[in-house]
Amino acid sequence: MILIISFVVLFFSISQLVIASVNLILKPDLTLPISANMPLVSVLIPARNEDKNIGLILNDLIGQEYKNLEIIVCDDQSEDQTAQIVNELSLTDNRIKLISSAALPDGWLGKNFACHTLSAHAQGDYFLFLDADVRIKGDIISQTISYSNRYNLGLLSIFPHQVLESVGERITVPLMNYILLTLLPLPLVLRSGLSSLAAANGQFMLFNAQVYRTNLPHEIHKRNRVEDIAIARYYKDRKIRVACLIGDKSITCRMYCGFSEAVDGFSKNITAFFGNSFLLATLFWIITTLGFIPLLLTFQLNIFIGYLVIVIVSKIIVAITSKQQILESLIYLIPQQLTIGWVILKAFINNYFYHYQWKGRNIS
């Protein structure tokens, strides 16, 4: 039995290396020729208690080379200065508009309702949903419109480059890209019709507006706390083309501030990467964290060393693809693996014994 387990661990680690390599080698280039046609893009930002971020992203949008924008912020019952900041900036740029979310209806989660509300006010040919903590520069909007047109996409989603400012963030936030880039060949999100081969990140989701209005994805998934991945799978089930990319430093985000906030955030969505299965998530953690034990007991030292090389090279490739520091990725390898286990455990506890909470709301 231990020999079989050892071969499973070895095969799985090689598979991770292959998938990570595919995602690096076939990473698409967004620097496509920009179309002379500039359709109206509705930039839609749900914002709840985002006074530290909302001014930054709005100024980024004001400075974008792509000018045919309407920028709508939904103040989702904020208790800080979010609305005041948006109103002040709207006086300097008439493309900016503030709307307020009504009381949350039964059966809806807050962000999903805010996004649906934003879409009802939008007039554009494209809907670009951005989280308030995202930062953009360069000509990312033109580039993504061109990419979407080239492949006739209903949805293009980008995982931003993650900004890490503390040790706690360095041992948590990179887990998202590690899981994604070693389990899912991203080119297949576009090329395969299987809904299981789908991914998306709600921080940056560019929709064809006509397709969005026909399918109303945020309403369909109004109770789903991982609505971005659910929408991507829903679109693929309906034969709508979807693409998911890893961004460069033209789109960045500081997702969480510190270890505790990151663990709380990831615990509400980590199982979505594993088909919402705690069993598969736990098996992933056991194989990638404790898999060295049966290998060490079963094989000769040279095979064990080869396994370690595979693990390290996979981490390096993920770091390169994600534009993260290679040395940091290796230094924090063990703490990151232990953190995956803690996040899965916390997700299990929250799911079966408590409520998930985010920004003062239950989201179970």
pLDDT for the residue numbered 76 = 87
The beta strand positions in 123-212, using DSSP E, are 126-130, 134-136, 155-159, 161-162, 204-208
State residue 32's pLDDT score: 64
The pLDDT, as a whole number, for residue 363 is 56
Last residue of a domain, one of 258, 273, 305: 258
Of 216, 238, 258, the position where a domain reaches its end is 258
**SS percent in the chain: helix, strand, coil, step 5:** 50, 15, 35
- In a domain, residue 328? The reply is yes
The three-state DSSP-derived secondary structure of 216-284 is CHHHHCCCCCCHHHHHHHHHHHCCCCEEEEECCCCEEECCCCCHHHHHHHHHCCHHHHHCCCHHHHHHH
Judge whether 10 lies within some domain: yes
User: How many CB atoms neighbour CB 352 within 10 A?
Assistant: 8
Considering the domain architecture, whether residues 74 and 121 belong to the same structural domain is answered as yes
| Whether residue 211 sits in one domain with residue 74 | yes
Please say if the pLDDT value at position 228 is more than 60: yes
Average pLDDT over residues 42-55: 95
Mean pLDDT of 326-343: 95
Query: Is residue 162 in a domain?
Result: yes
Whether residue 324 is found in the same domain as residue 239 = no
Distance CA 125, CA 161 (A): 26
CATH label of the domain that carries residue 88: 3.90.550.10
Residue 361, pLDDT above cutoff 70: no
Phi first, then psi: what are they for 43, rounded to 5°?
A: -90, 120
The residue range of the domain holding 13 is 2-25+263-354
Question: Does 159 lie in the same domain as 51?
Answer: yes
Shared-domain flag, residues 235 and 344: no
In a domain, 30, yes or no: no
Chain-centroid distance of CA 165 in Å reads 19
pLDDT at 358: 54
Same structural domain, 172 and 105 = yes
Do residues 82 and 208 both lie within one domain?
A: yes
pLDDT at 306 > cutoff 90: yes
Residue 364 lies in a domain: no
Cα 52–Cα 94–Cα 207 angle in degrees, nearest 5: 75
pTM for this structure?
0.91
Q: Quick one: pLDDT at residue 30?
A: 77
Mean pLDDT of 234-249: 94
In this structure, are 220 and 276 located in the same domain?
no
136-194 pLDDT tens trace: 998 899 999 999 999 999 999 999 999 999 999 999 999 999 999 999 999 999 999 99
Looking at the fold, whether 166 and 72 belong to one and the same domain comes out as: yes
Q: 243 with 338, same domain?
A: no
The whole-number pLDDT of residue 127 equals 98
Higher pLDDT, 203 or 30: 203
**What pLDDT digit, counting tens, does each position of 253-279 carry?**
998 889 999 998 899 889 988 988 999
Question: pLDDT-based confidence at 350, cuts 50/70/90?
Answer: confident
Residue 172 CB partners (closer than 8 Å, separation 6+)? 256, 259, 262, 263, 266, 336, 339, 343
Q: Which two tokens stand for residue 156?
A: 């293009």
Domain for residue 330, yes or no?
A: yes
Spatial strand order of the sheet with 155-159 comes to 96-100, 69-75, 41-47, 126-130, 204-208, 155-159, 242-246
Asked if the model's pLDDT at residue 222 lies above 90, the reply is yes
Residue 361 falls within a domain, yes or no?
no
- Please say which residue of 230, 258, 286 terminates a domain: 258
> What pLDDT does 29 receive?
74
Residue 359 pLDDT > 80: no
DSSP tag of 55: H
